[in-house]
Structure 1
Amino acid sequence: MNLKALMEKREELQCVMDALVSAADTEERAMTEEETEKFDKAEKEIRAIDETISRADRVRKLEKPEQHAEENTEAAEERAFANYVLGRASELRAGEQNMTMSNNGAIIPTSIANRIIKAVKDRCPILAGATIYNVKGTLKVPVWGKANTTHDIAVGYQTEFTAITADSGKFTSIDLGGYLAGALVLIGRSVENNSAFNVTNFIINQMAEEIAVWIEGQLLTGTGSDAAQGALNTTTTMAAAAATAVTADELISLQAMVKQAYQRNACWTMHPDTFTALRKLKDGNNRYLLQDDITGEFPYRLLGKPVYVSDNMPTMAAGSKAILYGDYSGISVNFRENISVEVLRENYATQHALGVISWFEFDAKVTDNQKLAVLTMKAS
């Protein structure tokens, strides 16, 4: 039994009943025979759905009380949230259905906020592949390296009863703090009159899309020393021979710059224009380098690895970092404040809209330069 589908159907029927009553009230008249018939039919279906859900809940509680109690809580949070957004509930008591009231609205329940976070990762492969932390304050990520150009841990054959010469490398650290970021989506209040509109899914998808595109840009290119620094800041780089073109040999060399140990999860990332240019490259046997891949997540493979296309990557231009290759886990991300979302009902009343605003605090830096390599176009 699909309880979620039943609840969505119930919401649609409730919207139909509300619209019928509202129409009669606005025109200061009694409901027509046709409207009454529709109203009674919707009410009958709602009662049938309620009875079905009630029976299902009783059975499910007998099977696994704790699990189904959690599922019921999530369903209750989603219903309460949808009713609040659609104006069916003018206010909510603080803490009811895990919804916290603020001066201007309600903070989205944790269960719905978590769905937004998951959707962000689904839309943003680099975030899904990055090394993610949730640490308050400043996170120090240890990085191992040589003590200097000659000192490192040395392994070799030894002779019994002969002391081993001690040598060492050193640990340095990369600091991950937190920079405040936010996104705002406006939703027209006309959705209240649309019985087929799933407001919860709309908000989740819209917020996730806005956040994912922005975070992807930060994790790829970054903003600078005063904010997150993206994967293109890796120190493993090579220069192209031309300012606006790439050769097959350069791609082979770039791929080889990432050590074999990190090749398993490596992929290519580039701008759509760069992808189009590479799509025309051929090898010595007149075969295209980019091969179709209908079996994997990505539709194309280059030198055996998937290709990810992003508008956030620079195009092939003089001095630009046009192609990224490697394992995304080489960049570390610290979400010092998890994504929180709040509904603003009053701020945009004059626009016949409500706002859904998201806040989060994060930082990102490359913490393993061996996993990521960048091709930089020749300077003009």
Structure 2
Amino acid sequence: MLNQKTKYKENYNMTTTIKNKKEIRSAFANFVTGNIDEIEARSLGVNINNGKATVPKSIAAEIIGYVEQENPLRKYGNVVKVDGNLSYPVLKGAVTVDAHKTERDKNEIQVNHLGLIAELLEPVEFDSISTIKKKLLYTSTVSVEDLVIDVMKKAYLVKEIDYMINGNHSDAFNEGSLLNKAKIFTPIATDPVAIIKELKNKPSTNVTNKARWIVNKAALEYVEDLKLPNGEAALKTIDRVDGGVSYMLLGFPLDCLDSVEGSTEKAAVFYFGDFDSFTIQENSTGLEVETLYERYAHLNEIGFKLYNLLDGKLIYSEVEPTVYRLEIK
């Protein structure tokens, strides 16, 4: 009898939790779309501060979970959760202190008695803007909360990937992005296969043991017909259980992303190395969202500005670069 009561209580608590999450999810979506006011939203469990709504933990986990699946630097790098906007130190081997922009105080990078350098991640208020047609909120068969959360997470993913891989836009410059920080590789060889093999052999053994490729579509096209001296294809495809395809280039896993930018649209860009050295600092207290009613009113749309305290940088010692970049025009 006791076991039955315990089981009933556990099932009741689980049902109540699911119900509460659904209610908060619905209240959050209805508040940011203007269907309920701040007082009602607060009564339903939505936290609001200066017009910004704190994204409920379950929804924040859904958004970040989606981004983790789609952003390879989150999958292969290191993510650390830190309260507020405190800087997070990442140790790297000493020899030469990396040059930094003038706004970064050189005293922030300290060397301990072992000769290790601590480079600080500095979180910034990172935001993405998504919009949705007002009529979709009233005519679609999809729930309001599903629509709102879907557009938020997709817009945020695009902005975050661009920031971490390219990071060259004036409103979101990232000196530690792959484009700005990966070690430039200049090949000696001229034969296409030899060039790729030369890049593959460039990192140290420590790096190569955990290495993989991140490339753009032009790079994938560059290698798709290359043959090794023994007649085997340099690029191999592997069918996945989910129906998709994975790639292996010269025996190392490969991810192809449209967001990898080159100096021209046709440039083939290859990143090769250990992406575990890419470190992401994220605010442990979660995300916030602000509704932009007036900015997109002339388009009959509602805008959502999603905020996160975030920094993401490639960090390595000059004595052992962890990621190399090759561009073939």
TM-score of the pair, normalised by structure 2: 0.76
Structure with higher strand content? 2
Q: Which residue of 2 aligns with 1:98?
A: 45
Q: Which residue of 2 aligns with 1:129?
A: 76
Tell me, yes or no, if structure 1 residue 291 matches structure 2 residue 236: yes
**How many angstroms apart in 2 are the aligned matches of 1:147 and 1:218?**
26
Over residues 57-85 of structure 1, what are the superposed CA-to-partner deviations in whole Å (9 max), with x where a residue is unaligned? x9986234544433222111122234445
Q: Which residue of 2 aligns with 1:191?
A: 136
**How many angstroms apart in 2 are the aligned matches of 1:106 and 1:342?**
7
Change (3 A) 1:201 1:60: farther
SS in structure 2 at match of 1:76 = helix
Residues matched between the structures, number: 300
Q: Which has the larger radius of gyration?
A: 1
Tell me, yes or no, if structure 1 residue 358 matches structure 2 residue 303: no
Report the CA distance between 1:126 and its aligned residue: 1.5
- Please point out which of 8, 27, 33 is paired with 1:80: 27
Q: Which residue of 1 aligns with 2:91?
A: 142
Structure with higher helix content? 1
**How many angstroms apart in 2 are the aligned matches of 1:223 and 1:129?**
22
Instruction: Flag as ranges the 4+ runs of structure 1 deviating above 6 A.
Output: none
- Please point out which of 258, 271, 278 is paired with 1:324: 271
- Please point out which of 212, 221, 224 is paired with 1:279: 224
- Please point out which of 136, 144, 156 is paired with 1:211: 156
Change (3 A) 1:199 1:184: same
Q: Which runs of 5+ in 1 are unaligned?
A: 1-57, 149-167
Q: Is the 8 A contact 1:139 1:175 kept in 2?
A: yes
Counterpart code for 1:216: I
Counterpart code for 2:154: E
Report the CA distance between 1:176 and its aligned residue: 0.9
Q: Which runs of 5+ in 2 are unaligned?
A: 98-112
By relative contact order (CA 8 Å, sep 6+), the higher-ranking structure is: 2
Report the CA distance between 1:325 and its aligned residue: 1.0
Q: Which residue of 2 aligns with 1:266?
A: 211
Q: Which residue of 1 aligns with 2:64?
A: 117
Report the CA distance between 1:365 and its aligned residue: 2.1
Over residues 181-226 of structure 1, what are the superposed CA-to-partner deviations in whole Å (9 max), with x where a residue is unaligned? 2211121221243251223222223222222222222222333996
TM-score of the pair, normalised by structure 1: 0.67
Over residues 323-345 of structure 1, what are the superposed CA-to-partner deviations in whole Å (9 max), with x where a residue is unaligned? 10122211111224743223345
Tell me, yes or no, if structure 1 residue 313 matches structure 2 residue 273: no
Q: Is the 8 A contact 1:232 1:321 kept in 2?
A: no
SS in structure 1 at match of 2:287 = strand
Q: Which moved more, 1:289-298 or 1:72-81?
A: 289-298
Change (3 A) 1:73 1:265: farther
